[in-house]
Chains A and B, each alone.
Chain A
Amino acid sequence: MADVAVRLTQLTKRFGGDATGRRVAKFVDGATPGDSILAVDHIDLEVRDREFFSLLGPSGCGKTTTLRMIGGFEQPTSGRIELAGEDVTWLPPYQRNVNTVFQNYALFPHLTVFENVAFGLRRRKVADGEVRTRVTEMLALVELPGYERRKPGQLSGGQAQRVALARALVNKPAVLLLDEPLGALDLKLRKQMQVELKRIQQEVGITFIYVTHDQEEAMTMSDRIAVMSRGRYEQLGDPEVLYEHPKTRFVAGFLGVSNLLPATRAGSVNGYAGFRLGSGTAVRVPLTLLEGRAAGYAVGVRPEKIRLFEPKDEVPAGLNQAPGVISDASYLGVSTQYIVTLADGHRVTVYEQNVQRATKAELWASGEQVVLAWAPEHCFVVEDGGATDTASIETPSPEPVVA
């Protein structure tokens, strides 16, 4: 087990009653001034040394507040924050060995790029010669050599982002906190910076805690992700685990596209649990996937895991099957997205790579009868929580998660 870089114990932040509550209330949906808001709700968390850890969640889920408490910009209502085993809960930001990359970069507009990056070193009275060496090194690392004398106003968004990163990393913090640092960049630059950030993290070997609402961004870079909602994290794990086996409806819906079908238990056979879907179709799921789930299930399957067959085709044995009718087909180039309506009216999203079928004539068309088939091992089971007939919860970004 690797060393723990950051440990949060029962960390809680409640805004409200006082002036800070008024300020925050404006940003939290449904909150009225004077309400107290539980932004972070008794979080226990361990971030390992040198890992790229992401806090992922929608706005208002408490991820930024958590980050700000680690940085020292917010004081917790209760709980404890440890950095490398040392209790820093009540230390001010300038006495913590962490540095932050702010969402809007927060570069000092009156200082040159060089002095921006040197700011932390100067505070620690590092000798001039060493300052020069380290700043130059750092600007090389973020691929901005020769920009020393520019002012922040003369930089593009991507360049400002790199300077902000250099300014934080030059201090060799134990942990680097990043608050949606790529949010202001355009898509192409963002993708490029994602790769870059991961490279830099591996090169400097510093623990990164990364806050984002972009599931793809979190999946691309993170070693582990905590998916947050309403002040708590719903699930913590590797990106693959979160994607393949989400434990809750929220996680299933927030990471990628998933089809969730309400189901009732119907016995067990040979290590498989039987389920009956609303349409009456029986499906099987490995029993191990039920661990830790209470009664009231929904069976989920990712759109790219489903294969489409014609009713007359023979579906390979061992697969779960459900008949349906194509109600929509969208050609996406690399793949085609189908919406299939099951017998009970549930709509299921299916992605099919355009390999076997690629031309218009070969693709499925609306109204065609099909059979959906998928492996039991590709299922996941979430607690249904009495939710409505949301067959397909989609993330805000309509981008399909297809390789």
Chain B
Amino acid sequence: MTATTAPITLAGPPRSVARRGARWIAGNLPWVYVGLVILYLVVPIAVIALFSFNDPVSKSNLVWHGFTLKYWLNPLGVPGLGDALATSLRIAFASTAVATVLGTLIALALVRYDFRGKGLANLLIFLPMATPEIVLGASLLTLFVQVGQPRSELTILIAHIMFNISYVVVTVRARLAGFDRNLEEAAMDLGANPWTTFWRVTFPLILPGIVAAALLAFSLSIDDFVITNFTAGPTVTFPMFIWGAARVGVPVQVNVIGTIIFVAAVGLVAISTLAQRRRSA
């Protein structure tokens, strides 16, 4: 009797641990999956942030050599980097501002009004998103050469505004599609003229969409390389600077600035999300 039962009790525990483990995974499969996805998304960013504290011995910042804060204390300590970053920020702010205003107005027109050529306008809005960047960049270059426009910060700005408008229109339009027109009628019913109605009712309600669109436009502009490279001429933007530097070894400061941009972007999104949550509460 004991001889027959003993092997079972011995073999029992390890098998049940394995089974329990399998059951735990099965029960928490969604969380395991979510964890893996987050890991997949975060690891590259974490590596960039980590290597901003690296102290490499050569120009190449690919192997961990030791912890230092010296690059964080002197983030613009590479010749040209500061100028390139300033240029990128200028272009990003300007193109975001112009594209957000124009794109919001276009979205309002496309959602609110029926007019001749509306279908065509809707199609054209999608074109810059659908066209490969390399093609867009090359044709813009051709265009600027044809009309005799020297390449400069201005031509980059024109190009960025162009593709940013599309993204702004699409984002704001989505917000407007669910907009209850009765709210505007109610405002007018209560004595608000169209101008007041827009600023007191329409604008505050579509603001989250506009902010999201602006954030998207800013991030698209500041990291654009392909189109910028075609339209830049002698101008050097931050991504172009990195591209140039990469041939000899990316300086650690690039990691520092990359980390700062990332944290700033996450911070902005967090602020806008929190603000929205508080407003709707």
User: Which positions in A face B, CB cutoff 8 Å?
Assistant: 19, 22, 71-73, 92-94, 98-100, 102, 104, 106-110, 119-120, 123-124, 151, 153, 167-168, 171
* Chain B: CB-nearest residue to A117: B190
Q: A106 touching B196 by the CB < 8 A rule? A: no
Q: B205 touching A109 by the CB < 8 A rule? A: yes
- Of A99, A104, A110, which one neighbours B190 at CB under 8 angstroms? A99
The smallest C-beta distance from A94 to any residue of chain B, in angstroms, reads 5
The smallest C-beta distance from B221 to any residue of chain A, in angstroms, reads 29
Q: Could you give 29 example pairs across A and B, Cβ below 8 Å?
A: A19-B114, A22-B114, A71-B189, A72-B189, A73-B188, A92-B188, A92-B193, A93-B188, A94-B188, A99-B190, A100-B185, A104-B182, A106-B182, A106-B183, A107-B186, A109-B183, A109-B280, A110-B205, A110-B279, A119-B187, A119-B190, A119-B192, A124-B191, A151-B280, A151-B281, A153-B281, A167-B186, A171-B190, A171-B191
Within 8 A of A (CB), among B208-262: none
> Which residues from A are CB-within-8-Å of B183?
106, 108-109
> Which residues from B are CB-within-8-Å of A102?
182, 185-186
Q: B186 touching A100 by the CB < 8 A rule? A: yes
What's the tally of chain B residues with a CB closer than 8 Å to chain A?
A: 21
Q: A106 touching B281 by the CB < 8 A rule? A: no
Interface residue B102 (Cβ < 8 Å from any Cβ of A)? no
Interface residue B204 (Cβ < 8 Å from any Cβ of A)? yes
Provide the bound-state CA to CA distance between A344 and B201, in Å: 64
* Chain A: CB-nearest residue to B181: A106
Provide the bound-state CA to CA distance between A19 and B114, in Å: 7
The smallest C-beta distance from A184 to any residue of chain B, in angstroms, reads 13
Pairs of residues from A and B, 9 with the lowest C-beta to C-beta distance, nearest first: A19-B114, A120-B190, A123-B191, A106-B182, A106-B186, A93-B188, A100-B189, A94-B188, A110-B204
Provide the bound-state CA to CA distance between A102 and B180, in Å: 12
Provide the bound-state CA to CA distance between A153 and B186, in Å: 17
* Chain A: CB-nearest residue to B186: A106
- Of A108, A110, A124, A171, which one neighbours B186 at CB under 8 angstroms? A108
**Interface majority SS (helix, strand, loop, mixed), chain B:** helix
Q: A94 touching B189 by the CB < 8 A rule? A: yes
> Which residues from B are CB-within-8-Å of A151?
280-281
> Which residues from A are CB-within-8-Å of B185?
71, 73, 93, 100, 102, 106
The smallest C-beta distance from B242 to any residue of chain A, in angstroms, reads 42
The smallest C-beta distance from B166 to any residue of chain A, in angstroms, reads 25
Assess A106 versus B180: contact at CB under 8 Å? Given A71-B189, A99-B189. Answer: yes
Produce 1/0 per residue, B193-209, CB < 8 A to A: 10010001100110000
Provide the bound-state CA to CA distance between A147 and B191, in Å: 24
> Which residues from A are CB-within-8-Å of B192?
94, 119, 123
Q: B189 touching A93 by the CB < 8 A rule? A: yes
Within 8 A of A (CB), among B138-194: 180, 182-183, 185-193
Provide the bound-state CA to CA distance between A107 and B204, in Å: 14
> Which residues from A are CB-within-8-Å of B196?
123
Provide the bound-state CA to CA distance between A171 and B190, in Å: 8
The smallest C-beta distance from B274 to any residue of chain A, in angstroms, reads 15
> Which residues from A are CB-within-8-Å of B280?
109-110, 151, 153
The smallest C-beta distance from A51 to any residue of chain B, in angstroms, reads 21
Provide the bound-state CA to CA distance between A100 and B201, in Å: 17
> Which residues from A are CB-within-8-Å of B279?
110
The smallest C-beta distance from B281 to any residue of chain A, in angstroms, reads 7
The smallest C-beta distance from A67 to any residue of chain B, in angstroms, reads 12
* Chain A: CB-nearest residue to B207: A110
* Chain B: CB-nearest residue to A118: B190
The smallest C-beta distance from A261 to any residue of chain B, in angstroms, reads 45
Provide the bound-state CA to CA distance between A73 and B188, in Å: 9
Identify which of B183, B187, B189 gathers the most chain A CB atoms within 10 Å of its CB: B189
> Which residues from B are CB-within-8-Å of A119?
187, 190, 192, 200
Identify which of A19, A72, A123 gathers the most chain B CB atoms within 10 Å of its CB: A123
Provide the bound-state CA to CA distance between A104 and B183, in Å: 10
The smallest C-beta distance from B201 to any residue of chain A, in angstroms, reads 6
Provide the bound-state CA to CA distance between A151 and B191, in Å: 22
> Which residues from A are CB-within-8-Å of B193?
92, 94
* Chain A: CB-nearest residue to B193: A94
Identify which of A98, A104, A119, A168 gathers the most chain B CB atoms within 10 Å of its CB: A119
Provide the bound-state CA to CA distance between A167 and B182, in Å: 14
> Which residues from B are CB-within-8-Å of A120?
190-191
* Chain B: CB-nearest residue to A124: B191
> Which residues from A are CB-within-8-Å of B205?
109-110
Given contact pairs A109-B280, A123-B191, a sample of 13 additional A-B residue pairs in the complex whose CB atoms are under 8 Å apart = A19-B114, A92-B188, A93-B185, A102-B182, A102-B185, A104-B182, A106-B186, A107-B186, A110-B205, A110-B279, A119-B187, A120-B191, A124-B191
The smallest C-beta distance from B270 to any residue of chain A, in angstroms, reads 20
Provide the bound-state CA to CA distance between A100 and B189, in Å: 7
The smallest C-beta distance from B37 to any residue of chain A, in angstroms, reads 31
Assess A123 versus B114: contact at CB under 8 Å? Given A102-B182, A108-B201. Answer: no
Provide the bound-state CA to CA distance between A92 and B187, in Å: 12
> Which residues from A are CB-within-8-Å of B188?
72-73, 92-94
Produce 1/0 per residue, B8-38, CB < 8 A to A: 0000000000000000000000000000000
> Which residues from B are CB-within-8-Å of A167?
186, 190
The smallest C-beta distance from A153 to any residue of chain B, in angstroms, reads 6
* Chain B: CB-nearest residue to A99: B189
> Which residues from B are CB-within-8-Å of A72?
188-189
* Chain A: CB-nearest residue to B184: A106
Provide the bound-state CA to CA distance between A123 and B187, in Å: 9
> Which residues from A are CB-within-8-Å of B281?
151, 153
Identify which of B185, B190, B204, B205 gathers the most chain A CB atoms within 10 Å of its CB: B190
The smallest C-beta distance from B141 to any residue of chain A, in angstroms, reads 41
Provide the bound-state CA to CA distance between A171 and B191, in Å: 10
* Chain A: CB-nearest residue to B115: A19
Provide the bound-state CA to CA distance between A110 and B202, in Å: 10
Provide the bound-state CA to CA distance between A187 and B190, in Å: 29
